[in-house]
């Protein structure tokens, strides 16, 4: 009986690579920028970078020099045994993306600062206006009080003046009467009038 040999061959299916995706990563500490190339399936794939100044680099990451020009273009090529695909990335897009992330908080901070300054200015205006109104009201009250005090003073002065005039008239009349009584001619006239009155009384009695 002859023996049979069974040969087993392993067949490996490799899919074609998909379109790569390039993103820009910013390091906030060193302020450096890194391009990162990726695909959904990385089975037996290799990554190569080409671009500005004939740069060639292997790997998913490509570190960019700070002095790199904004119009520089970098190409990520993904390969496997059956296919390859590439994706071009403009460095200005990296600047727009990362700088936008920095500028947005700055813009928000400026807007908040301006809003706070406006609110403080409006509040200060109303406080000053209220203080001026209170001051004007106090001045008006002082003027009214001063006017009333002057009116009372004038009334007291008029009353005192009237009293003085009345007293003066009284003194003048009293003086005239006293002078008339103490005058010799007036005394004789009074005596004659008294005698005439007595004679008239006696004649009437008889």
Q: Per this entry, what is the length of the chain?
A: 206
pLDDT along the chain (206 residues), means of 10: 60 79 84 87 85 82 84 90 89 64 70 91 89 85 80 71 64 64 56 61 60
SS3 77: strand
Q: Which helix (H) or strand (E) holds 184?
A: helix 184-205
177: tokens are 């009467």
Any bridge partners for residue 78, and if so which? 47, 85
At residue 18's C-alpha, the angle toward residues 16 and 19, to 5°, is: 145
CA distance 38 to 63: 15
Contact 87, 37 (CB under 8 A): yes
Domains and CATH numbers, the chain: 21-91 (2.60.40.10)
CA distance 168 to 9: 152
Contact 54, 24 (CB under 8 A): no
pLDDT in tens, 111-120: 989 999 999 9
Whole-number pLDDT of residue 64: 85
Tell whether the torsion through CA atoms of 52, 58, 62 and 66 is positive or negative: negative
Whole-number pLDDT of residue 103: 60
Whole-number pLDDT of residue 174: 63
Q: Give whole-number Cα distances, 16 to 33, 36, 43, 77, 87, in Å.
A: 30, 21, 10, 13, 15
Whole-number pLDDT of residue 31: 75
Whole-number pLDDT of residue 98: 46
């Amino acid at each position: 009986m002859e023996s049979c040999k069974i040969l087993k061959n392993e067949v490996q299916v490799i899919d074609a690579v998909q379109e790569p995706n390039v993103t820009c990563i910013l390091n906030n500490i060193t302020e450096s920028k890194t391009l990162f190339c990726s695909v959904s399936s990385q089975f037996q794939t290799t990554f190569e970078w080409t671009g500005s100044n004939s740069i060639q680099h292997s790997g998913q990451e490509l570190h960019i020099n700070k002095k790199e020009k904004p119009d520089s273009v970098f190409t990520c090529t993904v390969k496997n045994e059956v296919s390859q695909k590439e994706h071009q990335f403009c460095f200005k897009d990296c600047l727009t993306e990362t700088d936008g992330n920095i500028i947005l908080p700055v813009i928000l901070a400026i807007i908040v600062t301006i809003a706070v300054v406006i609110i403080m200015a409006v509040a200060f205006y109303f406080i000053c206006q209220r203080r001026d109104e209170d001051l004007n009201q106090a001045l008006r009250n002082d003027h009214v009080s001063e006017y009333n005090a002057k009116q009372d003073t004038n009334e007291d002065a008029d009353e005192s003046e009237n009293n003085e005039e009345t007293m003066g008239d009284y003194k003048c009349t009293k003086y005239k009467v006293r002078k008339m009584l103490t005058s010799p001619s007036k005394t004789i006239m009074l005596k004659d009038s008294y005698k005439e009155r007595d004679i008239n009384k006696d004649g009437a009695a008889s």
